[in-house]
């Protein structure tokens, strides 16, 4: 496929996912901070909740547990800012049962969260000097185009919950994902995102973890994004990942396992 065709397909297919990512990459705020903890992938929707209530991490402890530059090789990690924050009441869905999924996609904590902090993790560009972006823009080098945009961006929201609120939030998210596997529409800041399907994937970590490939649609073109939830004690972390090149259908888009593993390690 020529680069012009790859570019056209990728940009069309990624419209909805880009809108999701741009809005989801909301800044962390100590005011609405909520704790995130790892979860182990369970497909049956049950939660391996602790027999005794989990101690919630404080806002300061949550910051210490959050990812920092150097924690994930080959990536740039930054703390998001309050200007990008998405309030809970700013997320609307056409199916109420799907709200926990929409909240996870936009980094919004569920009921009972005490603190939150958020990070943006972006792959560092891999350049070999064979083709410039100017060459790609002229329609040359489809492979160079794919390579230039084959970068995964992951938005991590780490929430702290007290007592059984963390396990309950994890269970609610898994149930919502199962109920909404056939799709739903989420609207943030007046921009609707149509999710056409959610397919569960295997992942492990923390006390329990679960992951999905979420397929969005815009103008007839589809684009995949990845959503992961991880619980460790009373902390729940959600990971929303997007790869622009994958929107064109020519690049296999994997779960952000390195990011998930790094966060799991810091919550241990």
pLDDT tens, 38-60?
333 333 344 455 555 668 999 99
Cβ atoms within 10 Å, residue 22: 16
**Start-to-end CA span in the chain (Å):** 46
Which pLDDT value is given to residue 135? Answer: 58
For 153-186, b where at least 16 C-beta lie within 10 A, e where not — what string?
bbbbbbbbbbbbbbbbbbbbbbbbbebbbebbbb
CATH of segment(s) 3-267: 3.40.1000.70
Find the length of the chain: 268
Please list the residues that pair with 163 across neighbouring strands: 54
State the number of CA atoms in the 13 A half-sphere of 103 facing the CB.
25
Tell me the HSE value of 68 on the side-chain side, using a 13 A CA sphere.
6
| Higher pLDDT, residue 92 or 84 | 92
CA angle 85, 123, 152 (to 5 degrees): 70
Q: In what order do the strands lie in the sheet with 191-201?
A: 75-79, 113-123, 152-161, 235-243, 221-232, 208-218, 191-201, 184-188, 91-93
Whole-prediction pTM value?
0.79
**Confidence (pLDDT) at 247:** 76
Q: How far apart are CA 182 and CA 199, in angstroms?
A: 9
Q: What are phi and psi of 80, to 5 degrees?
A: -75, 165
pLDDT digits (tens, 9 = 90+) for 198-222: 999 999 999 999 999 999 998 888 8
Residue 219 confidence (pLDDT): 84
Nearest to 152 by CA among 261, 244, 217, 21: 244
Banded model confidence at residue 13, pLDDT cuts 50, 70, 90: very low
Q: Which helix (H) or strand (E) holds 65?
A: helix 59-65
Q: Which residues pair with 113 in a beta bridge?
A: 161
Average pLDDT for 107-116: 95
Q: Which of 225, 62, 230 is nearest to 152 (CA)?
A: 225
What does each C-alpha distance from 165 to 33, 38, 50, 99, 161 come to in angstroms?
15, 14, 11, 17, 6
CA dihedral angle for residue 120, residue 27, residue 23, residue 3, rounded to 10 degrees: -30
Provide the pLDDT for residue 35: 40
- pLDDT tens profile 218-268: 888 889 999 999 999 999 999 999 998 887 666 788 999 999 999 999 998
Distance CA 120, CA 115 (A): 18
pLDDT number for residue 39: 38
Q: What is the pLDDT of residues 132-181, one digit of tens each?
A: 556 555 555 556 666 677 899 999 999 999 999 999 999 999 999 999 99
pLDDT at 130 over 60: no
**Residue in 195, 198, 196 with CA at minimum distance from that of residue 181:** 198
């Amino acid at each position: 496929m020529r680069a012009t065709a790859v570019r056209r397909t990728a940009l069309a297919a990624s419209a909805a996912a880009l809108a999701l990512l741009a809005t989801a990459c909301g800044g962390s705020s100590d005011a609405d901070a909520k704790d995130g903890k790892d979860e182990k992938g369970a497909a049956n929707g049950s939660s391996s909740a602790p027999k005794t209530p989990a101690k919630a991490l404080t806002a300061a402890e949550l910051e210490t547990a959050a990812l920092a530059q150097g924690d994930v090789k080959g990536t740039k990690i930054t703390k998001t800012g309050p200007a990008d924050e998405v309030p809970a009441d700013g997320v609307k869905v056409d199916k109420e049962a799907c709200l926990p999924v929409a909240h996870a996609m936009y980094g919004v904590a569920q009921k009972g969260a005490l603190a939150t902090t958020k990070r943006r993790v972006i792959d560092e560009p891999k350049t070999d000097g064979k083709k410039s972006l100017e060459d790609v823009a002229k329609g040359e080098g489809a492979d160079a185009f794919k390579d230039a945009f084959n970068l995964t961006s992951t938005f991590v929201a780490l929430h702290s919950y007290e007592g059984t609120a963390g396990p309950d939030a994890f269970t609610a998210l898994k149930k919502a994902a199962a109920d909404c596997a056939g799709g739903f529409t989420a609207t943030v800041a007046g921009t609707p995102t149509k999710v056409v399907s959610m397919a569960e994937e295997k992942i492990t970590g923390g006390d329990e973890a679960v992951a999905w490939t979420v397929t969005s649609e815009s103008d007839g073109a589809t684009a995949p994004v990845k959503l992961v939830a991880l619980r460790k004690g009373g902390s729940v972390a959600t990971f929303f990942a997007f790869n622009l090149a994958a929107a064109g259908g020519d690049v296999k888009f994997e779960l952000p396992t390195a990011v998930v593993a790094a966060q799991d390690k810091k919550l241990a």
